[in-house]
Amino acid sequence: MKANNLVVLSEYNTAMEAELAKTVLGSAGIYAEIENEIMSSLYPTGIIPSKLLVREEDTETAKRLLTQR
């Protein structure tokens, strides 16, 4: 997946929260990846947030899925 097709859907204070959201999207067939996952784990909560990235065309569907969970 080319990074230029991806947009930030949301930010999380921990990598675990981002991973859970990625799993929800993946189970619905939406490609997602996490940016800053390792850095977020190394530093105290919230200093470097994990960013959940999705394809631009999946943004609305992804938001809807994450608000329903």
At 55, list the tokens.
Answer: 């394809």
Higher-confidence residue of 3 and 15: namely 15
Mean pLDDT estimate for the chain: 88
Overall fold of domain 3-68: Alpha-Beta Plaits (3.30.70)
Domain layout of the chain by residue ranges:
3-68
Q: Look up the pTM and report it.
A: 0.82
pLDDT single digits (tens) 43-61: 666 678 899 999 999 999 9
Residue 68 has a pLDDT of 86
Cα-Cα end-to-end distance for the chain: 26
